[in-house]
Amino acid sequence: MYRTLPTRRLGSGGAVRVVRRRLATEAAPTPAGPAPKKRHIVRNLFLTSTGLVGTFYLASPFLAFKNEIYYEFFTDNVPLGHAVMDYAESNDWNKATPESVLADVQKMLADAQRFVTDKINGTTASGTVQDTKAAARNTKEAALRIVQESKDRANAAAARIKTEVKKDVAETSAVVKHQSEQFTREIRELVRDAENALTQGVEVAALATESDVSAPPPASKDTAPDVYDAPLPVGFELPHGYRRPPPPPAPKEPEPAMEPLPRLTPALVSITGSEPIVAHLAGTIDNLTTFVEANPASAAQAAPVIDAAKADLTALVERIEKVRETERTELEAKLDDQTREYTVKLLELEMEAQDKLDGQEQDFRRFFDEERAKLIDAYRLKLELELETQTELINERLKEEVVAQGIELQRRWIREVKVHVEQERGGRLAKIEELATNLKKLERIALDNSVYLDENLRIHALWSALRALTASAISSPVRKPFREELRIVRHISAARDDEVVAAALESLEASDVPDVGVEPFADLATWFAREVAPKVAHVALVPEQDAGLLSHLASRAFAALQFRRQGLVAGDDVLSVLARAEYHLNEKDLDSAARELNQLKGTAKLLLADWLDAARKRLEVEQALEVVQAQATLASLLVV
């Protein structure tokens, strides 16, 4: 996906190097006999320092606009940094784009071309060459700036594209392709403009060189006053103080023909097929080679430059291939990382969905339990209402039957009276006494039926309240208060004046047990098996009195080595008592288990205090309810 960006950067660097070598090859003068030049160390040092400082001050604003930390460092610690940044901001350097920079460079190239043309038309060839060097140098600097800005834009685009890769691989491929094509077009335009400018400078330099070579050197005339160049008569000599002019220099021998320079396009056929920019640069260098061959004066220095250009282009292509391979490897690694990341996200989403389903299942189960409890309460209420209604109906029916029986008895009595009236003629008084006796029996039967019905209703209400109290206090799976149920049972039993039931319930009402409830048997057994029994077993060997830290540590250490006992084990030691208590708890005999554990003393008794208190409260409630149940059963039997 990022194969064009490294090509742009390397291609730009190669183009600059080729331009630099072309300038050095074609613009350098080639005197016949170069004299040894002096080494100007101070001047070179001054120029180098000036160039580096100028480059630093020119490049720092662009870098400061991209990096805020470097902006603060440059303005605070570098001399004239604040002034440079103000100048850059006032001239909108932070808004500079490759198009604007390219326009400025084109303008500079046009000015350089116009300046060179003016110099060619109005000055000597040597001045033209120097001006061409200056224009080429300015062009080179402008090209370097454009290349550097292009590199910065390429790096920024690459960073932006790499960031966008994490979002969408397909979209990033399209963006990278578009950016690559755009950067390639910019590089091609940049190289084309630089080549046009440099070709114009080279043509001017070539024209100047040809004029220097083709023009014959003028005969040097010694205008000194002591030179006598006129012919002397035979036998005469020059006067004292005069001399003859020096002989003319010997004509130079023609230089041997130079070997043809190598061409880059045939050597890079296998490479230029995949890189159009490299092919274009190779063709440009071959054109320059052809031009150099047409100018033998600069052909001697062109061969190393062309070889170096060939090596640079080859290295450039190799570097491009390496960068492509590196980018492809990085892209594959990123794709693998994204694959793993998306796989992990899919797993997380799947787990989250499963958790949501589990949560929904729990919510549905909870909703089902709540609805079932509501239905149970509704049916219980409905059953109580039906029972009350049936009881009222039965009472009404009994009353109607009693009334009907009374009416029937009255009718029968009337009939009997009539019969007896008819028969009383013989013994009227005896009949009257018999009727009175029957009437008393009838009244007694009616009273007995009324008492039976009232007692039956009271016993039924007592059993209903007792069942509700038992379900709330004893049979409930969780601890819950039962003060209201106890009050109802006490109210019903008070109507019967049962002293035994009143005494049993009075002890419960006086305590706080109805307000907090009692522990369920399952919780007591679990509490004893998981927490109380292991702790008591750890202090089984601790003496009852004067037990110290060492005694507890030794008891805990030896307790781990003892075997666990089960069943009805004989003995009065702690482990035997725990085994018997556990056996009774398994048999659901809380009373026997509490009696066994109540025999312990010392530290074991202290550890069992809370559990024994909870068990004792439950046993008290169970005993009270058993007494009430026994009295209710007895009352039921008495009624029958």
Helices 125-165 and 4-26, axial angle in degrees (round to 10): 170
Tokens of 431: 């009949």
With pLDDT > 70 as the criterion, what percentage of the chain qualifies? Answer: 54
Tokens of 486: 């106890």
Confidence of residue 19 (pLDDT cuts 50, 70, 90): very low
Q: Is the CB of residue 194 less than 8 Å from the CB of residue 139?
A: yes
Q: What is the DSSP string of 408-459?
A: HHHHHHHHHHHHHHHHHHHHHHHHHHHHHHHHHHHHHHHHHHHHHHHHHHHH
pLDDT at 12 over 70: no
Cα end-to-end span (Å), the chain: 101
Which DSSP letter does residue 46 get? H
pLDDT at 64 over 90: no
pLDDT at 26 over 80: no
Of 70-84, 368-382, 546-560, 623-637, the range with the lowest mean pLDDT is: 546-560
Confidence of residue 149 (pLDDT cuts 50, 70, 90): low
pLDDT digits (tens, 9 = 90+) for 489-523: 777 765 456 777 777 788 787 788 888 878 888 88
Q: Is the CB of residue 489 less than 8 Å from the CB of residue 628?
A: yes
Q: Is the CB of residue 309 less than 8 Å from the CB of residue 18?
A: yes
Q: Is the CB of residue 301 less than 8 Å from the CB of residue 25?
A: yes
pLDDT at 405 over 70: yes
Q: Is the pTM of this model over 0.85?
A: no
| Buried-exposed string 187-219: b where 16+ CB fall within 10 A, e elsewhere | beebbebbbebbebbbebbbbbbeebeeeeeee
Confidence of residue 382 (pLDDT cuts 50, 70, 90): very high
Q: Which of 497, 495, 490, 165 is nearest to 332 (CA)?
A: 165
DSSP, collapsed to helix, strand or coil, labels residue 182 as: helix
Confidence of residue 20 (pLDDT cuts 50, 70, 90): very low
Confidence of residue 103 (pLDDT cuts 50, 70, 90): confident
Determine the distance from the C-alpha atom of residue 459 to the mean position of all C-alpha atoms in its chain, rounded to a whole number. 70
| Alpha carbon distance 532, 522 (integer Å) | 14
pLDDT digits (tens, 9 = 90+) for 434-468: 888 888 888 888 888 887 887 787 888 788 888 88
Q: Which of 214, 198, 204, 196 is nearest to 296 (CA)?
A: 214
| Alpha carbon distance 188, 275 (integer Å) | 12
Q: What is the pLDDT, as a whole number, of residue 560?
A: 55
Where are the chain's structural domains? 4-28+45-212+262-334, 371-495, 518-607
pLDDT at 189 over 70: no
Q: What is the pLDDT, as a whole number, of residue 385?
A: 93
**Which of left, alpha, beta for 480 (phi over 0: left; psi -120 to 50: alpha)?**
beta
Tokens of 369: 């339990």
pLDDT at 202 over 50: no
Tokens of 193: 């403009």
Length of the chain: 640
Q: How many CA atoms lie within 13 A of 183 on its CB side?
A: 29
Tell me the one-letter amino acid at 462: L
**Which of left, alpha, beta for 602 (phi over 0: left; psi -120 to 50: alpha)?**
left
> Which backbone phi and psi does 219 adopt, to 5 degrees?
-65, 120
Q: Is the CB of residue 602 less than 8 Å from the CB of residue 545?
A: yes
Tokens of 56: 């630093």
Q: Which of 501, 441, 459 is nearest to 627 (CA)?
A: 501
The count of other CB atoms within 10 Å of the CB of residue 297 is 16
What is the longest distance spanned by two Cα atoms in the chain? 234
**Which of left, alpha, beta for 262 (phi over 0: left; psi -120 to 50: alpha)?**
beta
| Alpha carbon distance 338, 375 (integer Å) | 54
- Partners of residue 243 on adjacent β-strands: 227
